[in-house]
A = this chain, B = another copy of it.
Amino acid sequence: MIESGEMPPGSRLENEIALADQLGLSRPTMRQAIQHLVDKGLLVRKRGVGTQVVHARVRRQVELSSLFDDLDRAHRQPRTEILSFGRQPVPEEVAVAMRLPAGTEVITFDRLRYAQDEPLALMRNYVPVGVADITATALERYGLYQLLRDAGVQLRIADQTISARKAAATEARLLHETRGAPLLTMVRTAYDHANRAVEYGSHVYRASRYSFELTLVAR
């Protein structure tokens, strides 16, 4: 009910006893279920207010897809704020990851991604000049992968590393988190059908609002 948006953020839960009766559950079971949702961060208990629904988590299937498109498809109202946009010689570590010659010119940009007016992710990306016609204006309206597709780029494969670290002061401020809050980190290099590295991204997501979903199949 919470993740589907049937109970929007801010809704209050009736008391446990009424809710247990309504759903035909025993009271200990109801208490356990509520505690589980509190642990998962979907509910919060407030003194004098009771139990409230907090913002739903973005549970995103890990695929070679764009956060923007995924949010859009889930009716999560993505919005992008461009924090910086420019052109520079590729930084050393990005050159290594993308196997680009030193000094290659890349377009680089920092974006703050919102979902339903809540900040969700801070994203830095690098795209070699010439791969696609990327502008700050276009990035405000579309996801990066849409712009790559529009330029005829066929994404084929990506290497991705997921870990976590504490939010630095600036990150915390932009993401409405406290300093030191856990952030999920994702570093990705994406290649096109010609095995050319077309995009390098270093993103951080609010761990309180985001998780990666994976389906693994035995080889």
Contacts and interface: CB of A to CB of B under 8 A. Distances in A.
Contacts of A166: 181-182
A62 B158 contact: no
Interface stretch (A81-89, A131-139, A206-214): A206-214
Say whether chain A's binding surface is mostly helix, strand, loop, or mixed: strand
A118 to B, nearest CB: 16
A219 to B, nearest CB: 7
Contacts of A92: 29, 32-33, 36
A180 interface: yes
Contacts of A219: 63-64
Contacts of A210: 163
Interface string A181-219: 111100000000000000000000001001111111111
Nearest to A154: B218
A213 B64 contact: no
Given A36-B92, A180-B180, A157 B212 contact: no
Nearest to A160: B214
A180 to B, nearest CB: 6
A165 B59 contact: no
A63 B216 contact: yes
A156 B36 contact: no
B158 A215 contact: yes
17 contacts: A29-B92, A32-B91, A36-B92, A62-B214, A62-B216, A64-B217, A154-B218, A158-B216, A159-B213, A159-B215, A160-B214, A162-B184, A162-B213, A163-B211, A163-B212, A164-B183, A164-B207
